[in-house]
A and B are shown apart, each in its own frame.
Chain A
């Protein structure tokens, strides 16, 4: 492994950006009136200019990532497998549709970056019909990929333009096959980051490829023990300005999926404390325990309307509670984690600059008591110096 003493690592988030050298780490609140490059050079120009472009490594989550809509045959196989692969490739799933009921689903108005169509083992066929095309006709999307049974591929290709056909993600034993779709989505994400005008500018200061932040963080998880006292099984929460990213140990779920990595990822879109502030508050208002939590934190619902440091702090505590709820049996989302078996809970991202360990433990304990009726207390680990990101970025930079 080469030394990283002469490397500069930069992470662009939706709210903050971070700049890390061998001896220091700086973070800055973004100025949304400026282009990213201008903002970066304005605040850290001296540091950036002191590095050769080939020694500058940048990752970004500023664009909020790619979004996908999945159309599949069943929950237990096609939709579950495609969702798992999408999340682990850093893609946010905005909706998944059971094909037989496709006419009952509303059409999302937002532009979908990629539509995934999946269903049936290879010896099956004739499972899709014209309802697929008529739905897609109404949908606004940039890419469409087919990873279902072999027999239907050509038929669908006739009616769906620019259809990318990849091998089936369901094999003949009904097991998952990750590789092809995962590579495709990872590349798509890559191209997207490079394509964003704002991000494109950054190639003026780096000679290296710009990667997505969740990709870099996921790389660091097997190495997390070298920097922190973290005990498996654990979850890692990255509560950001726009979205919340959760990486969790696979033994926290009872899924019949044999995948490559030891940790899976899930994203809660629109659960953040800046850009997604309104939807966070909306979620809180619909949670019967949120009121009690506010009482416990000695504030009232008026806090939702305040824009103070205190309000940010409370919102972050709320975000932790709501994310834990979404991963428990109380508000089941895509996965339900065995939270009583969890030994550590790791926090990274902007939240570590606002909350201290006690603030977090207070909320976590409240969650366990109220929702799970337990005194369980996972050990809280705060990654306040972005070591996890540095670990992943360093590891990645070393491999390049």
Chain B
């Protein structure tokens, strides 16, 4: 299964990005890693060019709130991305916040899976489960 991944915005967390790449590869995904400092449009464009089933965005410096609202609007402009599974993980807000609220908010932004301060492997297990469910439903 093809996954497009990368770190969004003005964020240079290379280590996290590279580990995500290695972990996804280890789990058998075909990974397209856009690296750090990636724009939202580049993520969607990469999903189109590769024909990926999953888009997994990392955001580590708490900036996600800033662009989260734009996700739905931008995605709506693409005609071939309706089947794309959207996941986001990392540090989604600055400071502390109620994890449940954050998950709800980002689901409203258009993400199917939201992992706020969740350990990498737990997050990827969630992804695997979700994809299994999708297949059966």
Chain B residue at smallest Cβ distance from A79? B45
Knowing A119-B49, A120-B51, say if A76 contacts B41 (CB, 8 Å): yes
Do A170 and B51 touch (CB < 8 A)? no
Q: Which residues of B lie under 8 Å from residue A276 when comparing CB positions?
A: none
CA of A340 to CA of B44, assembled, Å: 31
- Number of B positions contacting A (CB below 8 A): 17
Q: Is A227 an interface residue (CB 8 A)?
A: no
Contacts of A76 in B (CB 8 A): 39, 41-42, 45-46
Residues of A near B41 (CB, < 8 A) are 75-76
Interface bin, chain A:
10 to 19
Contact in complex: B51, A74 (CB < 8 Å): no
- When the two chains form their complex, are residues A74 and B80 in contact, meaning their CB atoms are under 8 A apart? no
A73 and B48 contact, CB distance less than 8 A: yes
User: Contact: A170 with B49, CB < 8 Å?
Assistant: yes
Name the interface residues of A32-80: CB closer than 8 Å to any CB of B.
73-78
In chain B between 20 and 54, which residues have their CB closer than 8 angstroms to a CB of chain A?
A: 30, 32, 34, 39, 41-42, 44-46, 48-51
Check B51–A77 contact: CB distance below 8 A.
no
Residues on A with C-beta less than 8 A from B46 are 74, 76-77, 174
**Which residues of chain A have a CB within 8 Å of any CB of chain B?**
73-78, 100-101, 119-121, 123-125, 127, 170, 173-174
Residues of chain B with a CB closer than 8 A to A100's CB: 78-80
Distance of B43 from chain A, by nearest CB (Å) = 9
Identify A121's interface contact among B39, B42, B45, B50, CB under 8 A: B50
A174-B51 in contact given A77-B45, A77-B46, A100-B78 (Cβ < 8 Å)? no
**Which residue of A has the minimal Cβ distance to B38?**
A256
Chain B positions within 8 Å of A173 at CB level: 32
Q: Judging by beta carbons under 8 Å apart, are B45 and A74 in contact?
A: yes
Q: Do the beta carbons of A124 and B34 come within 8 Å of each other?
A: no
Report the separation of the CA atoms of residues A125 and B2 in the bound assembly, to the nearest whole angstrom: 13
Nearest chain A CB to B108 CB, angstrom units:
26
With both beta carbons as reference points, the residue of chain B lying nearest to A76 in the complex is identified as B45
Residue in B32, B34, B42, B49 whose beta carbon sits within 8 Å of that of A78 in the complex:
B49
Cβ of A127 and Cβ of B42 under 8 Å apart? no
Where chain A touches its partner, the secondary structure class is loop
Tell me which of B30, B49, B78, B79 contacts A77 (CB under 8 A).
B49
Residues of B within 8 A of A170 (CB): 49
A73/B78 in contact, CB under 8 A: no
Q: Which residue of A lies closest to B39 (CB)?
A: A76
Name the 10 nearest CB pairs between A and B, nearest first: A74-B45, A76-B45, A124-B51, A100-B79, A76-B42, A77-B49, A74-B48, A73-B48, A121-B50, A77-B45
CA of A125 to CA of B34, assembled, Å: 21
5 A-B pairs besides A123-B50, A127-B48, A174-B49 with CB distance below 8 A are A76-B39, A77-B45, A119-B49, A120-B50, A174-B46
Give per-residue flags for B87-105: 1 if the beta carbon is below 8 A from chain A beta carbons, else 0: 0000000000000000000
**CB <8 Å contact, B49 and A74:** yes
Chain A residues within 8 Å of B79, by CB: 100-101
Count chain A CB atoms within 10 A of each CB in B34, B41, B42, B50 and give the residue with the most. B50
| A123 engages B51 (CB within 8 Å) | yes
Smallest distance from the beta carbon of B51 to chain A beta carbons, Å? 4
Contacting pair B50 A174 (CB below 8 A) = yes
Closest to A124 in B: B51
Are B50 and A124 closer than 8 Å at their CB atoms? Answer: yes
Known: A76-B41, A174-B32, A174-B34. A120 touches B78 (CB 8 A): no
How many angstroms from the CA of A74 to the CA of B46 in the assembled complex?
8
Q: How far is the CA of A13 from the CA of B49 in the complex (A)?
A: 40
Instruction: Provide the bound-state CA to CA distance between A361 and B90, in Å.
Output: 50
Q: Which residue of A lies closest to B80 (CB)?
A: A100
With contacts A76-B41, A174-B34 taken as known, whether A125 is within 8 angstroms of B49 at the C-beta atoms is: no
* Chain B residue at smallest Cβ distance from A75: B45
